[in-house]
Each structure stands twice: as structure tokens, then as C-alpha cells.
């Protein structure tokens, strides 16, 4: 069965420091992997995805993520955090088998401190 | 503007009083889906639809109904709401086809059942 784990409920980081939000997954075959961000009173917004190719993918707002097949991870990173990055982040996985089943993690709240 | 529109955004109701949350998309997407978001549980799929008149259960369909009479609309119906359906609900859509894999979300509907 497909699953996604976000082991940290909350991540605190000082403004200007690098940030990492962790995600590990379990899916058969080569997965499609996604990161979404949710700001207060807003829907989920797409940040970036990994489908195939280069393991390091770049997305919106300076975020990037690294796909690591051996560790089944897809951690979200940013070199220098901004206070405005404070939000709820969701990792999601989809098996590329032709279904459109997306499995979401439980979310990680990122708090960037000024 | 390409978007998914949900209404109402906020609703307080009482146990047993039927309600409908509407979802409409203007992108001609075939696939539409409803999720509920609960703290510590992430997003869980309620129902989805691959096209007009084609709907199927997600992971937590109990207590909900859906219909897909038109391509653009996918309402979520709670025939007899109960307090355990208090949640934040999201509608999402996606085109079906090669390379299509990013869900577009509505802004969310926060439902409280007393």
C-alpha cells in the first residue's frame, strides 16, 4: 500500500538559515512525488514535483527537493528561510500505474523566526 | 483565471440538517476529488470522479455522497451531518492525460457540525 510519512509535526528555523522539511514514502514502482504549501485560509498550492530525471528539482519561491530512491525520501529544502515561508507543508505521492490516487502526508508546520 | 471554486467557505450547522458543499472548476478537467483535512491526519480522500457520471469512493466515504452531472461541478452532499464530520474540506481537479499530474485545489470549506 502507498504511504507518505512526514516525521516532524513542526519545524522551527531562524530567518536566513537553511531549512529542511522531511518526507519519506512507500510506493511500488517509480513514484510521482509532490510538495504543496498551505497558507492560512487558503487552499493547497503546488510547489514542485519529481516525475523523472534529475534527482534535484527546483520549484516556486526558491524551494527545491531532492529525490533519493535508495532512502525513499523526498525532502524539501531552501537555502535561506524567510518569515513569509511560515506555512503548512504537505508531501504527496502518486503511483504512476494509471490511477489518479494521491496520498498525502500529515503535514509539517514550518515556523520561520525573525 | 483558472480556478476551483468552493462554496460556502465557512458553515456552522446542526446534526442531521442536510447540506451541500459546491465545487466548480473552469479548466475543463476530467478528474475531480474531495478531501477532508484533519489535524494529525493530513488530507484524506472522500470521493473522486474520473468524468461525468463516473464517481468512486475514496478512503473515507462514509456519510458523504457526490454527483457529477456536469463536467465542471462536483458537489459534496452530507445527508445527515454528524459532529465527526466537522472538518476542513477541499475540492481538487486535474486533467487526465500524459504529463498531467498536478492537482489544483479550491480554497477550502470549513464545516462545523454542532
Task: From chain A, pick out residues whose CB is under 8 angstroms from the CB of B108.
Answer: 41-43
Question: A74-111 pLDDT, tens per residue?
Answer: 999 999 999 999 999 999 998 777 678 899 999 999 99
Rounded distance, CA B96 to CA A94, Å?
Answer: 14
Query: CB contact, 8 Å: B35 with chain A?
Result: yes
Residue of B nearest to A95 (CA): B101
Predicted local confidence at residue A49, as pLDDT: 95
Rounded distance, CA A77 to CA A79, Å?
Answer: 7
Rounded distance, CA B45 to CA B22, Å?
Answer: 16
Rounded distance, CA A57 to CA A49, Å?
Answer: 7
Spatial neighbors of B105 by CB under 8 A, at least 6 apart, are: A36, A43, A44, A45, B4, B90, B91, B92
Query: CB contact, 8 Å: B2 with chain A?
Result: no
Rounded distance, CA A17 to CA A13, Å?
Answer: 7
CA angle A5, A9, A12 (to 5 degrees): 125
Per-residue pLDDT of chain B (114 residues; tens, 9 = 90+): 889 999 999 999 999 999 999 999 999 999 999 999 999 999 999 999 999 999 999 999 999 999 999 999 999 999 999 999 999 999 999 999 887 889 999 999 999 999
Q: Is A60 helix (H, G, I), strand (E, B) or coil?
A: helix
Contact between chains at A44 and B90 (C-beta distance less than 8 A): yes
Amino acid at each position: 500500500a502507498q504511504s507518505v510519512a512526514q516525521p516532524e509535526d513542526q519545524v522551527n528555523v531562524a530567518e536566513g538559515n537553511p531549512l529542511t522539511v522531511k518526507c519519506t514514502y512507500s510506493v511500488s514502482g517509480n513514484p510521482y512525488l509532490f510538495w504543496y504549501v498551505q497558507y492560512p485560509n487558503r487552499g493547497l498550492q503546488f510547489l514542485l514535483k519529481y516525475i523523472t530525471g534529475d534527482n534535484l528539482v527546483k520549484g516556486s519561491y526558491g524551494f527545491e527537493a531532492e529525490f533519493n530512491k535508495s532512502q525513499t525520501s523526498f525532502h524539501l529544502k531552501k537555502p535561506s528561510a524567510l518569515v513569509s515561508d511560515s506555512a503548512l507543508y504537505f508531501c504527496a505521492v502518486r503511483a504512476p500505474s494509471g490511477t489518479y490516487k494521491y496520498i498525502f502526508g500529515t503535514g509539517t508546520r514550518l515556523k520561520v523566526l525573525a | 483565471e483558472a480556478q476551483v471554486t468552493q462554496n460556502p467557505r465557512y458553515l456552522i450547522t446542526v446534526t442531521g440538517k442536510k447540506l451541500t458543499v459546491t465545487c466548480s472548476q473552469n479548466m475543463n478537467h476530467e478528474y475531480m476529488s474531495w478531501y477532508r483535512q484533519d489535524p494529525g491526519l493530513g488530507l484524506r480522500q472522500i470521493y473522486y470522479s474520473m468524468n461525468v457520471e463516473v464517481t468512486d469512493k475514496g478512503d473515507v466515504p462514509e456519510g458523504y455522497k457526490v454527483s457529477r452531472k456536469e463536467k465542471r461541478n462536483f458537489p459534496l452532499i452530507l445527508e445527515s451531518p454528524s459532529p465527526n464530520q466537522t472538518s476542513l474540506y477541499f475540492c481538487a481537479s486535474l486533467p487526465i492525460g500524459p504529463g498531467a499530474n498536478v492537482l489544483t485545489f479550491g480554497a477550502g470549506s470549513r464545516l462545523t457540525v454542532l
